Structure 1
Amino acid sequence: MARVLALDFGKVRTGIAVTDEFQIIASGLTTVNTKELIPFLKDYIAKEQVELFVVGEPKQMDATASESEVLIIPFLKQLNNAIPNIPVVRVDERFTSKMAFQTMIDSGLSKKQRKNKALVDEISATLILQSYLSSK
């Protein structure tokens, strides 16, 4: 079986999470500069089998698309052009940043560690991936 890779896409940096080969466990992988995201993904899939990309879908409370969606749509087109053989599924990402921050508190991380936005993005990607896995 191949892995599923999730992205918490952001204008500056993108959190990335991945499953194990059996698609049971979602784990944070890293956070990369969004400008370097496509080359990172190409390099990753050259080393690991990935069958699906899960990309967070930011929504407002009324379920309409958030302003960030304007940035994600061009990225999705780039991704499809660069890696056309791996499909993309979108997952509602409402509250993932707040849940990630709460996870950091619950884990006993210090205030300084909780200010690490890259870690918040990575945890958010993990939550997006876990949401996808739970819905399967």
Structure 2
Amino acid sequence: MSRILAIDYGLKRTGIAVTDELQIIASGLTTVFTKDIFAFLKEYTEKESVELFLVGEPKQMDNTASESEIIIIPFINRLVEEFPNIPVKRVDERFTSKMAFQTMIDSGLKKNQRKNKALVDEISATLILQSYLYSK
């Protein structure tokens, strides 16, 4: 089997999580600067088999699209263009940042470690991926 790669896309940083090859376990992979995301994905997909990209879908509480959807749509369009053989699915990402922060607290990270926004993005991507795996 191939891996599933989840993306928590942001203006500055993008969190990335990935499954094992059996698609059982979601693990945080890294956080990259958004300007470098396509170079990273190209390099990663050359080394690893990826069968699906999951991209977080920010929504308001009333289920309408969040303002940040405006920056995500062009990213998804380019993702489809650059990787035509890898489908893209969207996953509701409401509360993932709050849940990521709580995960950091629960795991005992010190206050200054919890300020690491790159880690929050990576954990958020992992939560997006885990949510998808649970729904399968």
TM-score (norm 2): 0.99
**How many angstroms does 1:13 deviate by?**
0.5
Identity %: 77
Q: Which runs of 5+ in 1 are unaligned?
A: none
Amino acid at match of 1:127: L
- Report the RMSD for the aligned CA atoms in angstroms: 0.4
1:59-92 Cα deviation digits (max 9, x unpaired): 0000000000000000001111111110001000
**How many angstroms does 1:123 deviate by?**
0.1
Amino acid at match of 1:49: S
Aligned equivalent of 1:56: 56
Q: Which runs of 5+ in 2 are unaligned?
A: none
- The reply on whether 1:22 has 2:22 as its aligned counterpart is yes
Aligned equivalent of 1:93: 93
Aligned equivalent of 1:44: 44
**How many angstroms does 1:134 deviate by?**
0.4
Amino acid at match of 1:5: L
Amino acid at match of 2:83: I
Aligned length: 136
- The reply on whether 1:7 has 2:12 as its aligned counterpart is no
Structure 1 consecutive aligned stretches of length 4 or more whose deviation exceeds 6 Å: none
**How many angstroms does 1:131 deviate by?**
0.2
TM-score (norm 1): 0.99
